[in-house]
A and B are shown apart, each in its own frame.
Chain A
């Protein structure tokens, strides 16, 4: 009886849940920095910590920092969390922060028990840069981080990560597995070899419906499918084009009635695109349909569509050989506007420049920046897609975002 009572009172152990992420393409190396992010970079937020991240409202939230004080839009003062350690056991020091952030275009200066951080690229808001900067240190030839997970092993097709201090009821092991094609990744996920797949297109979601072991989750998208104008086009033309193209009509033609997060807007029937030569549309990757739809909306002004590879597109953009180009610029958090549209930003590959926008961004006045962008539009923003992922049904509260797609994975709970 005592044994029965004992067994009855003891909660059954939670079976460990290993999350295996199915990816397609070369896995690459996991590193805290790099201009060419590899697939393995989705593990960055689990292995490396940033000083700050953003909450769902776009406000900065400390991670490695115990205290954050905004000195100006270009400068913050932070104090490090004293208990933070790297996965090799070493404490996170000011020196580590200085070394890590300087490779991300930030300058760090120790000041009376704190660190003053500012952008080395004038005009770029500190928020946007901090959100991309991970803190790390080199230890015995390896780059280690202070995040909850550490790399256990890595091969060309698999990266294994274990939680540094296992937590009951949480995911304690993650594997990134790279398959050759999306079809392989989907098939292995449906088969149960993998139990997390991200960046699922809406048309493919149906594959995972009614699969008992999986659940489909959505997260707000951070970027928007857009037609970015050649800055050489006259401002009035761009205003007219933006009004004509950021419309329900184009959205539904290109994506259907339900795929975009934007609220319905009434297409402007009085928009006149005037006469003139046909506008050349440059398209690449997944935007062929958007390009075709754009040309139809442009009617007589719709010109040649060139569907090219991303590399060719970059080259043609640099040469200015386009009138509009399909792209997916960042829209959230608001500070990311500065990365895309500020004059001289390394991410502003289109060459857009507007002093009013720059000034608003420097001041951190996102509303003013948006107004200025509407006044002198660099692009017609058409459709923001949800992030769609498919994840093991045993995960209780899987969420995507708000910044990195899988940044909340360490907090996901496993069903008991």
Chain B
């Protein structure tokens, strides 16, 4: 695994364990913020609607109070008709005032008041019609007592001012107010696109909700408006007047602030995550580099220790040979020659072990290798060493050909290492077995010996560098770590099973590469 990948993994780990929970927290926070933003907008709209409702109710009350005052003050005067007519100059919203009595012609009676209402007015009661659209603006017929039974002062209140008030309510750039009468008819609209319905009387999307509200059914605070937009709405109803007021604002505009905050915070969270990943990655890589450097120093120390120990041992032997040679005794010459040959051989292997460490496996250069033939080649290669140790090497091939792909040189070095270790561990006269088989989808080369076996507490560190217990001369502890390095480089593994006093089995498992018998590259055989 490369340093970069390790760094990324470390960073991902940090991000997952640290930043991701924060991010999730932020998402929840943002959702809460959004919900609260919408609620706050709706509450503001409701407050505006309530305020508009209060103004409208107050306006109506004032108009009727003014009418009552005029009725009481003027109706008994001799020139009452003229004075009532003049009132419209000062209070145009009261419309055309007139005295109504039993003798008034039906054509001159307020058109939206029925007979019973007129009769009640003439008995001294105040009566009022529902609001209606007269000509172009809302109106209401009202009769108030004149102070004399049989006469009432009647007016058609011009509610144009209310219409204007509703139309002038602006919320943000696109928000508006709507006013509905008891039946749900639109009587004033701040939305220009909906204003035709005021005059035509056609219902709009909110009509049913408005009439429901007057009858006590709550109206929704988010809906599709009469002009087809998704809006937030605040409602209020005026039970006495029978009106309901809706103040609407397109959701897009109402939640623009919250949305901007959401985007800002989300961007901040993502940016924080990216920064933490970048910083984490950089720090992880720096840390890994530092660790690697430290590890290299440690490795160099271990190598130096091993090399010092082994070469020191060899140096001691060579000094002894030198002292033997210094005696100039011809009888010692054969012994001196034999000893020197042995030491040269040992140093050669020593150098070869180090040389193996410098060779990297390159998957692009891997070639097909038939494992039975390969094992035979290994057996032949180790035959000389086995003979010296008085050990025989047996080969138990797989029943059919078994192919792997690999660097033949490295795999041979690994297999020979395991075989020679097995020979060294074996008692003279015993046998080492090379077994080839297919197991769990892998091609297996097992090397078995009947030697002393490995102590259980040693097995865990057996494949670590410079951990050899032999350290007798040619073993610097690089053999098994190198075997593992070669196995891993081929996508395989190496393992050991051992029982003290009964022997050990080292197993090299490699990926099967299928039948390669037709490969133009014939399996090589060790000479």
Chain B residues lying within 8 Å of A208, measured Cβ to Cβ, are 192
**A214 CA to B192 CA, complexed, in Å:** 9
Indicate whether A231 reaches chain B with its CB closer than 8 angstroms.
no
User: Is B193 touching A211 in the complex (CB atoms < 8 A)?
Assistant: yes
**A292 CA to B82 CA, complexed, in Å:** 9
Q: Which of B167, B191, B196, B199 contacts A206 (CB 8 A)?
A: B167
User: Is B89 touching A187 in the complex (CB atoms < 8 A)?
Assistant: no
User: Is A182 touching B136 in the complex (CB atoms < 8 A)?
Assistant: yes
User: Is B135 touching A183 in the complex (CB atoms < 8 A)?
Assistant: yes
Indicate whether B222 reaches chain A with its CB closer than 8 angstroms.
no
User: Is B195 touching A296 in the complex (CB atoms < 8 A)?
Assistant: no
Nearest neighbor of A187 in chain B, beta-carbon distance:
B199
Q: How far is the CB of B166 from chain A (nearest CB, A)?
A: 11
User: Is A186 touching B89 in the complex (CB atoms < 8 A)?
Assistant: no
**A43 CA to B33 CA, complexed, in Å:** 60
**A211 CA to B227 CA, complexed, in Å:** 12
User: Is A292 touching B199 in the complex (CB atoms < 8 A)?
Assistant: no
**A203 CA to B85 CA, complexed, in Å:** 21
Chain B residues lying within 8 Å of A191, measured Cβ to Cβ, are 196, 200
Indicate whether A68 reaches chain B with its CB closer than 8 angstroms.
no
Q: Most B CB atoms within 10 A — which of A190, A191, A192?
A: A190
**A210 CA to B190 CA, complexed, in Å:** 8
**A208 CA to B199 CA, complexed, in Å:** 12
Interface set, chain B 129-176, CB cutoff 8 A to A: 133, 135-136, 160, 163-164, 167
Binary CB contact string for chain A from 289 to 312 against chain B (1 if under 8 A, 0 otherwise): 100110110000000010000000
Chain B residues lying within 8 Å of A295, measured Cβ to Cβ, are 86
User: Is A190 touching B195 in the complex (CB atoms < 8 A)?
Assistant: yes
Nearest neighbor of A293 in chain B, beta-carbon distance:
B89
**A203 CA to B161 CA, complexed, in Å:** 10
User: Is B192 touching A186 in the complex (CB atoms < 8 A)?
Assistant: no
Q: How far is the CB of A204 from chain B (nearest CB, A)?
A: 6
Binary CB contact string for chain B from 72 to 95 against chain A (1 if under 8 A, 0 otherwise): 000000000000011011001000
User: A183-B135, A190-B195, A190-B196 known; A209 and B167 CB under 8 Å?
Assistant: yes
Nearest neighbor of B163 in chain A, beta-carbon distance:
A206
Nearest neighbor of B87 in chain A, beta-carbon distance:
A292
User: Is A204 touching B196 in the complex (CB atoms < 8 A)?
Assistant: no
Chain A residues lying within 8 Å of B198, measured Cβ to Cβ, are 207
Q: How far is the CB of A194 from chain B (nearest CB, A)?
A: 11
User: A183-B135, A210-B192 known; A190 and B199 CB under 8 Å?
Assistant: yes
Indicate whether A15 reaches chain B with its CB closer than 8 angstroms.
no
Indicate whether A276 reaches chain B with its CB closer than 8 angstroms.
no
User: Is A207 touching B193 in the complex (CB atoms < 8 A)?
Assistant: no
User: A182-B135, A186-B136, A191-B200 known; A207 and B195 CB under 8 Å?
Assistant: yes
Indicate whether A212 reaches chain B with its CB closer than 8 angstroms.
yes
User: Is A212 touching B193 in the complex (CB atoms < 8 A)?
Assistant: yes
Q: How far is the CB of A336 from chain B (nearest CB, A)?
A: 31
User: Is A209 touching B86 in the complex (CB atoms < 8 A)?
Assistant: no
Indicate whether A253 reaches chain B with its CB closer than 8 angstroms.
yes
**A183 CA to B192 CA, complexed, in Å:** 16
Interface set, chain A 58-109, CB cutoff 8 A to B: none
**A380 CA to B444 CA, complexed, in Å:** 123
Nearest neighbor of A214 in chain B, beta-carbon distance:
B192
Q: Most A CB atoms within 10 A — which of B86, B167, B196?
A: B196
Q: Most B CB atoms within 10 A — which of A183, A208, A214?
A: A183
User: A182-B136, A187-B196, A212-B192 known; A203 and B160 CB under 8 Å?
Assistant: yes
Q: How far is the CB of B126 from chain A (nearest CB, A)?
A: 26
User: Is A253 touching B136 in the complex (CB atoms < 8 A)?
Assistant: no
User: Is A296 touching B89 in the complex (CB atoms < 8 A)?
Assistant: yes
**A247 CA to B89 CA, complexed, in Å:** 16
User: Is B85 touching A211 in the complex (CB atoms < 8 A)?
Assistant: no
Chain A residues lying within 8 Å of B160, measured Cβ to Cβ, are 203
**A292 CA to B90 CA, complexed, in Å:** 11
User: Is A187 touching B200 in the complex (CB atoms < 8 A)?
Assistant: yes
Chain A residues lying within 8 Å of B133, measured Cβ to Cβ, are 183
User: Is A204 touching B192 in the complex (CB atoms < 8 A)?
Assistant: no
Q: Most B CB atoms within 10 A — which of A186, A192, A204?
A: A186
Q: Which of A209, A289, A293 contacts B192 (CB 8 A)?
A: A209
User: Is B195 touching A253 in the complex (CB atoms < 8 A)?
Assistant: no
User: A187-B200, A190-B199 known; A207 and B85 CB under 8 Å?
Assistant: no
**A293 CA to B196 CA, complexed, in Å:** 34
Q: How far is the CB of B226 from chain A (nearest CB, A)?
A: 12
User: A186-B136, A204-B136 known; A211 and B89 CB under 8 Å?
Assistant: no
Chain B residues lying within 8 Å of A204, measured Cβ to Cβ, are 136
**A187 CA to B196 CA, complexed, in Å:** 5
Q: How far is the CB of A400 from chain B (nearest CB, A)?
A: 21
User: Is A253 touching B199 in the complex (CB atoms < 8 A)?
Assistant: no
Q: How far is the CB of A125 from chain B (nearest CB, A)?
A: 39
**A214 CA to B195 CA, complexed, in Å:** 12
Q: Which of A183, A289, A296 contacts B136 (CB 8 A)?
A: A183
Nearest neighbor of B199 in chain A, beta-carbon distance:
A187
**A212 CA to B192 CA, complexed, in Å:** 7
User: A182-B135, A182-B136, A206-B167 known; A253 and B89 CB under 8 Å?
Assistant: yes
User: Is B192 touching A211 in the complex (CB atoms < 8 A)?
Assistant: yes
User: Is A183 touching B199 in the complex (CB atoms < 8 A)?
Assistant: yes
User: Is A206 touching B164 in the complex (CB atoms < 8 A)?
Assistant: yes
**A123 CA to B192 CA, complexed, in Å:** 52
User: Is B200 touching A292 in the complex (CB atoms < 8 A)?
Assistant: no
Chain A residues lying within 8 Å of B199, measured Cβ to Cβ, are 183-184, 186-187, 190, 207
**A295 CA to B79 CA, complexed, in Å:** 14
Interface set, chain A 177-215, CB cutoff 8 A to B: 182-184, 186-188, 190-192, 203-204, 206-212, 214
**A198 CA to B75 CA, complexed, in Å:** 41
Binary CB contact string for chain A from 49 to 65 against chain B (1 if under 8 A, 0 otherwise): 00000000000000000
Q: How far is the CB of B424 from chain A (nearest CB, A)?
A: 78
Q: Most A CB atoms within 10 A — which of B88, B192, B199?
A: B199
Q: How far is the CB of A143 from chain B (nearest CB, A)?
A: 36
**A203 CA to B159 CA, complexed, in Å:** 12
Nearest neighbor of A191 in chain B, beta-carbon distance:
B196
**A16 CA to B56 CA, complexed, in Å:** 44
User: Is A289 touching B196 in the complex (CB atoms < 8 A)?
Assistant: no
Nearest neighbor of A207 in chain B, beta-carbon distance:
B195
Q: Most A CB atoms within 10 A — which of B88, B89, B136, B167?
A: B136
Chain B residues lying within 8 Å of A214, measured Cβ to Cβ, are 192
User: Is A289 touching B89 in the complex (CB atoms < 8 A)?
Assistant: yes
Nearest neighbor of A188 in chain B, beta-carbon distance:
B196
Binary CB contact string for chain B from 172 to 213 against chain A (1 if under 8 A, 0 otherwise): 000000000000000000111101101110000000000000
**A183 CA to B85 CA, complexed, in Å:** 26
Q: How far is the CB of B235 from chain A (nearest CB, A)?
A: 22
Q: How far is the CB of B98 from chain A (nearest CB, A)?
A: 13
Chain B residues lying within 8 Å of A190, measured Cβ to Cβ, are 192, 195-196, 199
**A253 CA to B86 CA, complexed, in Å:** 11
Chain A residues lying within 8 Å of B164, measured Cβ to Cβ, are 206
**A182 CA to B198 CA, complexed, in Å:** 13
Name B's A-contacting residues (CB within 8 A): 85-86, 88-89, 92, 133, 135-136, 160, 163-164, 167, 190-193, 195-196, 198-200
Question: 6 shortest A-B CB distances, which residue pairs?
Answer: A211-B192, A190-B196, A187-B199, A191-B196, A187-B200, A210-B192
Name A's B-contacting residues (CB within 8 A): 182-184, 186-188, 190-192, 203-204, 206-212, 214, 253, 289, 292-293, 295-296, 305
List 9 additional A-B contacts (Cβ < 8 Å) besides A186-B136, A190-B196: A182-B136, A187-B200, A190-B195, A207-B195, A208-B192, A209-B167, A292-B85, A295-B86, A305-B85
Give 30 pairs: A residue, B residue, CB < 8 Å, sorted on A. Answer: A182-B136, A183-B133, A183-B135, A183-B136, A183-B199, A184-B199, A186-B136, A187-B196, A187-B199, A188-B196, A190-B195, A190-B196, A206-B163, A207-B198, A209-B167, A209-B192, A211-B192, A211-B193, A211-B195, A212-B193, A253-B89, A289-B88, A289-B89, A292-B85, A292-B88, A293-B89, A295-B86, A296-B86, A296-B89, A305-B85
